[in-house]
């Protein structure tokens, strides 16, 4: 069993969906968890209660990941609460889908700033304490869209592809200090977003997925917990696809 006892984690975008599943999974494996949320205070409170029910400490911080100063403050609050950050999960992300010919510049920029720039800001903010500790696990939530592309998601696919490059560059920079950097690339996951898809789109997705079903958020969280653990100490610069075989390389 994965044991994260004594570890302190920070998850961006941790109040709902995959992020919340990651927060709860890390806590369930023994870690204290700080997480950021954008604006849903009720979801953040209920996530905090869920973590504390597992006997772990929780810290919810409202933060805009597109603001470098907010990323610094988020890391500072987590360090103040826990004394260290062993695990960083860059999960915060948004979608603003449209075809390239119709996509506004602001729509392009908003997705890149949240999904890619936000991960850079958080990684940069956590780097110094991890380097001092000579230990760290950085996990970026990318997507199969960043590997194969997705029509109508040029902004999202580009941001997620950029995260893969960020992951590998980070891994090379910090490996000598005992810090690993990896990415998890989910396929289609059962969330509020996918539940609202039209039936024909769902059927097309299932037909293209060899395992013939959507993932659950818990299955994505399990992959994150593995990469955060000492069992994955010799894995770095890797992109772990959790997609039911949708994209095979």
- In degrees and rounded to multiples of 5, residue 87 shows phi and psi of -130, 130
pLDDT at 126: 98
Distance between terminal CA atoms of the chain? 29
pLDDT at 195: 75
pLDDT at 186: 96
Q: Can you name the residues that pair with 183 across neighbouring β-strands?
A: 140, 239
pLDDT at 39: 85
pLDDT digits (tens, 9 = 90+) for 60-115: 999 999 999 999 999 999 999 999 999 999 999 999 999 999 999 999 999 999 99
pLDDT digits (tens, 9 = 90+) for 33-44: 999 999 899 999
**pLDDT surpassing 90 at residue 196:** no
pLDDT at 249: 66
Alpha helices of the chain — where are they, by DSSP H? 17-28, 41-53, 68-82, 105-112, 118-133, 145-148, 154-174, 192-195, 199-208, 217-228
Angle between helices 41-53 and 17-28 (to 10 degrees): 20
pLDDT at 198: 79
**pLDDT surpassing 70 at residue 158:** yes
Specify the pairing of strand 87-90 against strand 32-37. Answer: unpaired
Banded model confidence at residue 178, pLDDT cuts 50, 70, 90: very high
Catalytic residue among 37, 121, 135, 156: 156
Average pLDDT score, the chain = 95
156 is catalytic: yes
Percent of the chain with pLDDT over 70: 99
């Amino acid at each position: 069993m994965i044991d994260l006892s004594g570890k302190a984690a920070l998850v961006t975008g941790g109040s709902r969906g995959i992020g919340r599943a990651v927060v709860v999974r890390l806590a369930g494996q023994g870690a204290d968890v700080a997480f950021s949320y954008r604006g849903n205070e009720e979801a953040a409170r209920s996530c905090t209660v869920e973590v504390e029910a597992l006997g772990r400490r929780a810290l919810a911080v409202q933060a805009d990941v597109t603001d470098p100063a907010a990323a610094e403050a988020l890391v500072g609050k987590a360090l103040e609460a826990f004394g260290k950050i062993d695990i960083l999960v860059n999960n915060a992300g948004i979608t603003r889908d449209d075809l390239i010919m119709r996509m506004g510049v602001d729509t392009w920029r908003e997705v890149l700033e949240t999904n890619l720039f936000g991960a850079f800001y958080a990684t940069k903010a956590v780097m110094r304490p991890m380097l001092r500790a000579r230990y760290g696990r950085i996990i970026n939530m990318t997507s199969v869209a960043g590997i194969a592309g997705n029509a109508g998601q040029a902004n999202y696919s580009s941001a997620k592809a950029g995260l893969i490059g960020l992951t590998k560059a980070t891994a090379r920079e910090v490996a000598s200090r005992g810090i690993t950097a990896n990415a998890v690339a989910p396929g289609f996951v059962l969330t509020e977003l996918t539940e609202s898809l039209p039936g024909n789109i769902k059927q097309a997705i299932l037909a293209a997925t060899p395992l013939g079903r959507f993932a659950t958020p818990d299955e994505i969280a399990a992959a994150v917990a593995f990469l955060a653990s000492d069992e994955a100490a010799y894995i770095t610069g890797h992109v772990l696809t959790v997609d039911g075989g949708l994209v095979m390389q």
